[in-house]
Structure 1
Amino acid sequence: MDIDDILKAFDQETSRPQRSQSKLYRQDYESLKKAWINERTSPELLHYEVDLMERVLKRIRQQMEFIELNSIELQSSEEKDIKLLLVIIESELDRVNFVVRSYLRTRLDKIDKFTIYIHNEEQELKKLSPEETEYMNRHLEILVELYNKQFLSKLPESLHTLDDTSGGISMIESPELSKSVFIRVLKDIEIPIVIGGEEIDMKQDEIYVLSYRLVKDLIQAEEVALI
């Protein structure tokens, strides 16, 4: 029996509002995992999941508060059900924390890698949370300061820019949107994708390997998911 089976068993013994709330928590966890996989697989930075992350982080705070307030009492309690509940909450908290940390680290890695590109593109800036925007701006300040101290100050002023695109060569590192990705179709796609003059009808639950550029809009519309 895994943690999900145990949670279901507890749901059966609780009231309907509590079961409904527990179902919403598990739905959010599944949505979080999907956002995490999409972010890790996508070559570009995706939109920060504002509402989802607010609910998940609120749930984490509630679980931590429950553990802190009741850990001493539960350790001395003889009620096995209460002790088991604490174990379940801690296990659930560990797995959710893992996904949250990995999701955020993946996003920060992309922000580090594409700092100048994101900073210069208004549509990319809209993908960031306020905290990520602050992080990116500070990272860019440190980057410019480091480069100036190391070598830019020794070069002509015309060579001081970090976002030069003259001469047909761009200094700005940007996402490789032509990268091939695996996708799973979440529902039938009405408009087929055209590759080399051939139309591809994408049906629900089918798996494809396609250029990210071809499916990025479908990912944002939640019609397909990266795997």
Structure 2
Amino acid sequence: MESQSQPEFDRENLNEDVVNMRTLWVNELNAPEILPYNEEMVTEMLEQIRNQQEYVDSVYEDRAQLTEEKSFVNKLYQMEIDRLRYTVSSYLRTRLRKIEKFAVHILSDAALTQRLSLKERNFAQQFVMLFESHVNELALNKFADDYRSLTAEGMVTEPNLDSFVFCEGKEGAEAVQVDEKGGDFVQMHPADRYVLRYRSIKSQVESGQIELI
């Protein structure tokens, strides 16, 4: 008989969070630009991981009730928790790499800056300040005044929004304009997969009507 003090492994809620977190992660991995930070989802996922880890730990601590079968199942739970930790960590690391690469571009646009969490914003500001100081000492102070700023034309690294991405239509996906003149459209269908320019689907990726794969 299980100890009444043990928390339960909430598989139903965890599975739902896994699907949502994986979508968030895969979108971030494949989008050329940084996407809006989903603080609610990340916080919920971390809370779920903590709760499930407490359950797994409590099972191992209850030696009297630890059967071979329960130990095996517990190891499967631990593998699932480790996989979730990796997903969250990879999501956050991917965002940090984009911030380092496009920090000046992001901070120069208020809408893009709002996509960052508070910690990410602070990181981006510190990164730009240190990078600018380093580059000034290394080279910029030797350039003409017009080229001493990191924000000078041609010096800011920007994401290529016209790069091609693999994507999948979801329920409610609308037709996508695939040419600059607006005469060529692709009707997105649920579960169908496409290769399109990111720029043409970016708004639907953010709304959840299209997922990157």
TM-score for both structures, normalised by structure 1: 0.80
Q: Work out the CA distance in 1 between the residues paired with 2:130 and 2:64.
A: 51
Residues 91 and 75 from structure 1, CA distance in 2 versus in 1: closer, same or farther, beyond 3 angstroms?
Answer: farther
Identity of aligned residues (%): 26
TM-score by length of 2: 0.85
What number of residue pairs does the alignment pair up?
A: 204
Q: 1:34 aligns with which of 23, 26, 43?
A: 23
Gapped runs of 5+ residues in structure 1?
Answer: 1-17
* Amino acid aligned to 1:59: Q
| Cα 1:192–1:226 shift into 2, 3 Å | closer
Check if 1:104 corresponds to 2:88: no
* Equivalent residue number for residue 145 of structure 1: 133
State the alpha-carbon separation in 2 of the partners of residues 158 and 83 from structure 1.
67
The structure-2 alpha-carbon separation of the partners of 1:93 and 1:203, relative to structure 1 and needing over 3 Å to count, comes to same
Q: Quick one: which amino acid aligns to residue 32 of structure 2? A: P
* Secondary structure in structure 2 of the residue aligned to 1:114: helix
Name the CA distance, whole Å, in 2 between partners of 1:66 and 1:205.
Answer: 36
What corresponds to 1:183 in structure 2? 167
Greater shift, 88-97 or 106-115, is seen at 88-97
Task: Could you tell me which runs of 5 or more consecutive residues in structure 2 were left unpaired when the two chains were aligned.
Answer: 1-7
CA distance in 1, matches of 2:174, 2:71: 51
Structure 1 residue matching 2:173: 3-state secondary structure: coil
CA RMSD of aligned residues (A): 2.3
Superposition deviation, residue 86 in structure 1: 3.1
Q: Deviations over 1:150-189 (max 9, x none)?
A: 1223344443210012xxxx21111101111111111253
Paired with 1:42 and 1:25, the residues of 2 have a C-alpha distance of: 25
Deviations 1:62-99 (A, max 9, x none): 2344455564x245754335423531331121100111
Distance in 2 (CA, whole Å) between partners of 1:188 and 1:55 is 26
**How many angstroms does 1:40 deviate by?**
0.8
How far off is 1:46 after superposition?
A: 0.5
Partner of 1:52: 41
Q: CA deviation at 1:216?
A: 0.6
Q: Spell out, residue by residue over 1:175-215, the C-alpha distance to the aligned partner (whole angstroms, 9 max, x if none).
A: 10111111111125344535362332222221111111111
Residue 22 of structure 1, CA deviation: 2.5
Letter in 2 for 1:150: L
